Structures are given as C-alpha cells and as structure tokens.
C-alpha cells in the first residue's frame, strides 16, 4: 500500500505546491486537511476543490469555528492570557485545534506522517509537531519548507510549471495568519523595526485617528464566558465576531511588538485582535470585583505561565492541564455585566455590576453610613509592619558596633 501523508492545508500558494512537492520527494499520496477557525475568506468547499486540483488524493475539511471559540478562545479569555503582556496568542491557540483534526484525519485515512508548511525559524513548527507527538506519538512529521527545501521562489516556479489552480505572485511581502480571535502580520519591510506599519497591512481594524462616534456596549458574563451583548444572548463565537466588528470599527486591538520566539529569535509582529482585546479588558474588570484578592494575585502569575506554555506549543502538556483546573476554579463567581466605551483605539470600562461582587459599598464609602471600623487599622498596621520593624532595629544595632 502506498504511504499516505496528511498535510495541514491553508489553500494558499505554499501548501498547494506542497501537495505535489511532497509527492515527488517521497512518493507518498497526500491528504489535504483544511480547518476553518473563523479566518474568513474562501469557503471550505472551494479550498477542498483546490486541494484536489493540486493533486491531493483526499481532502478533509472541517468547520471548527465554534469548537475553536468554545474550547480554545474561551480558556484564553478566562486566563486573560497575553504573552509578554501584549500578544493574545492569536496563532498559538489555533494550532492545537488544527493538530487535533490532523491526527483525526491521519487515523481516518491511514496516514503514517503529518506535514505542515512552517519554516525552521518560527514557533509554529514546534506547536504542530509537539502537538502531533502528544496526540499521535506513532506519527512522523515533515515540513516541506524546512525539510524538503521548498522556498517561495521554487513554489511559484513549481505552480507555474504544473499549471496548478492557484494564484502565483511575489507582490505581497507579508506573512499573514488569521482566525476569529485575531490576525498576525510579519516579514517584509516590518522586519526593520524602525519602520512604522502602513495602513494597508490592517484588515480587522479601522484607523483609530478618525473614529466614528463612541460606541457603548454592555457585555454579560456567566462563569467567565460572555453570554450576552447589550442584552442579546450570544454564543462565544458570536460574541467574538460582534466585538471584532464593533471594536474593530473603532481601531481597538492594534498591537505592534517585538516578541521573544521560542527558537531564540526576537521577532517584530503586528497583531489585530479587536474582539479579543475588548473581551479580555471586560473580563479582567469583572474579575476585579468578583475574585478574592490573594486568588487574583496568584491567578496573574498562573496566567503568565499559562500564556508562555501555550505560546511554546505546550497546549496538551500536563502542567497546562493542571493550570486549567486552577483557572476554571477562579471563574466560579465571574458573572455579571461590564459596560465599556469603544472609541479611538481604546476600550474603556465605565461600569460594572454583579450579584457575586465582593465590592461592598458600605465598607468602601467615605460618606455617612460607612460601616468600616477605622479603629481596627492601628493594630493592623502595627502587626503588618512588625517584621520589617524588627529587621530595621537589627540593622541599626549591627551598624552601630
């Protein structure tokens, strides 16, 4: 029986060429796997037909947009995950769901190897291959760009020679990855980190310098998950899409950052994540009134480690799974409404309410009706500062000898 290789297929030039390139290099049959994670653009059926037209013997396509929103975006939201304080893990959280379907397709079609279109310089090769090793430890992995010398120039020449049904062009200098959680843009003139991004690289967001009138929105959460916008019930996918539309129109969620790749390279990235950043902002403010102080402090530490693990391709790791359990426990009371104004590139919270709030007006107020016993503060301060006071006395005593 001829060996079969499953290929993560985007429908673009490189992975379309990779179908034939892999076949010629290995003699194997190629099964193309396309997964919709809300990236928009062409229909799955169009992508399927293109894969078959480029030589795939089978084409597995999956609409995983709700799965992605529910099982990958929502844990990221509950964590308030921002890698290095900036990046909402746009590409990093899409790779595990794609891996899941790659392994499923490999089982279904009897493939022994999984291929992806990543280079040897990026993070995604790690995310794909570590995920595949975890879910399908018997499967082998290859990367045509990295392992089979498939460069972009060679891809264009191959496509033209074979008459493949794919557009071949050198005009677009950017590498772009997108899904419903956001959009990532890199390479080209952006590699000079002094160059400012130009307007043409943006798609999910409008220019924030000339915004429309302020847009006030109320987001309702239940156990950390958005369930309604302005009183209208929504699914997680619908919530993200609606905030992409409304926050994007105000230029919210543009991120320009130089980040530390797993492979040791610093890389300049432009991200657009209007829905993700608006939701994370709202969620964090709701946590501020519903999560206990020490629990919140520790959650921030857990969230940072969680983001690093996911960025580094460890979505399926035991530690990530354990951190998930802690984060899920913190969300028990994260239920309520957040009102925010979207305008000029900013999402500003101006109201919050919750039946499970820890905010006590009578304790917080400085006006008549204050129930806080201020006489307790003196003794509290004495005890709180006792350790430092004793150590300071020691320092003075020793210095005087």
Please tell me the number of Cα atoms within 13 Å of 207 on its side-chain side.
6
Count of CB atoms situated within 10 Å of the CB of 139: 19
Distance in angstroms (rounded) separating the CA atoms of residues 36 and 40: 8
Active-site entry in 63, 66, 147, 175: 175
CB atoms within 10 A of CB 384: 11
14 catalytic, yes or no?
A: yes
Give 162: exposed, middle or buried? Use CB within 10 Å, 0-12, 13-18, 19+: middle
- 360 classed as catalytic: no
Residue 91 annotated as catalytic: no
Residue 85 main-chain phi, psi, to 5 deg: 75, 5
Beta strands in 64-171 (DSSP E): 113-115, 140-142
Of these residues, 36, 50, 124, 246, which one is catalytic?
Answer: 124
Question: Which tokens go with 8?
Answer: 């993560």
* Beta pairing class for 215-222 and 182-186: unpaired
Beta pairing partners, 11: none
Q: From the centroid of its chain, how far is CA 381?
A: 43
Phi, psi of 117, rounded to the nearest 5 degrees: -100, 20
- DSSP readout, 217-247? EEEEEETTEEEEETTEE--HHHHHHHHHHHH
Q: Choose, from 4, 50, 95, 254, the residue flagged as catalytic.
A: 95
- Nearest to residue 7, comparing CAs of 60, 47, 44, 50? 60
Catalytic residue, candidates 4, 10, 14, 267: 14
**Residue 124 annotated in active site:** yes
Q: How is residue 146 annotated by DSSP? A: H
**Measured CA distances, 230 to 93, 226, 238, 275 (Å):** 28, 11, 13, 15
Joined together, the tokens standing for residue 325 give 């359990």
Residue 308's CB: how many other CB atoms inside 10 A? 16
* Residue ranges in 56-93 assigned as alpha helix (H): 65-68, 74-79
Catalogue the active-site residues. 14, 95, 124, 175
């Amino acid at each position: 029986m001829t060996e079969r290789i499953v290929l993560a297929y985007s429908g673009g030039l490189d992975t379309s060429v990779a179908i034939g390139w892999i076949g010629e290099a290995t003699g194997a049959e190629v099964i193309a796997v396309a997964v919709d994670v809300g990236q928009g653009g062409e229909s799955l059926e169009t992508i399927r037909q293109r894969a078959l037209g480029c030589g795939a013997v089978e084409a597995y396509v999956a609409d995983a947009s709700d799965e992605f929103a529910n099982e990958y975006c929502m844990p990221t939201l509950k964590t308030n995950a921002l890698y290095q304080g900036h990046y909402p893990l746009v590409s990093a959280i899409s790779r595990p769901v794609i891996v899941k379907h790659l392994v499923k397709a490999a089982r279904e079609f009897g493939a022994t190897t999984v291929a992806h279109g990543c280079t040897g310089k990026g993070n995604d090769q790690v995310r794909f291959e570590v995920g595949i090793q975890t879910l399908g430890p018997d499967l082998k992995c290859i990367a045509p760009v990295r392992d089979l010398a498939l460069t972009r120039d060679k891809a264009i020449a191959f496509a033209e020679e074979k008459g493949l049904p794919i557009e071949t062009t050198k005009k677009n200098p950017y590498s772009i990855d997108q899904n419903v959680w956001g959009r990532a843009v890199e390479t080209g003139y952006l590699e000079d980190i002094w160059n400012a991004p130009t307007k043409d690289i943006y798609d999910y967001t409008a220019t924030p310098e000339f915004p429309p009138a302020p847009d006030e929105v109320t987001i309702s959460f239940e156990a950390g998950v958005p369930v309604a916008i302005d009183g209208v019930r929504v699914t997680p996918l619908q919530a993200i899409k609606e905030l992409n539309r409304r926050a994007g129109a105000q230029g919210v969620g543009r991120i320009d950052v130089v980040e530390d790749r797993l492979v040791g390279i610093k890389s300049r990235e432009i991200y657009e994540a209007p829905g993700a950043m608006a939701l994370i902002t709202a969620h964090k403010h709701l946590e501020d009134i519903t999560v206990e102080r020490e629990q919140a402090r520790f959650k921030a530490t857990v969230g940072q480690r969680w983001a690093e693990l996911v960025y580094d391709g460890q979505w399926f790791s035991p530690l990530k799974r354990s951190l998930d359990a802690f984060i899920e426990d913190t969300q028990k009371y994260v239920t309520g409404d957040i009102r925010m104004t979207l305008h000029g590139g900013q999402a500003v919270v101006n109201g919050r309410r919750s039946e499970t709030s820890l905010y006590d007006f009578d304790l917080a107020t400085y006006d008549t009706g204050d129930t806080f016993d201020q006489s307790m503060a003196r003794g509290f301060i004495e005890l709180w500062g006792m350790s430092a006071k004793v150590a300071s006395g020691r320092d003075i005593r020793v210095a005087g000898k």
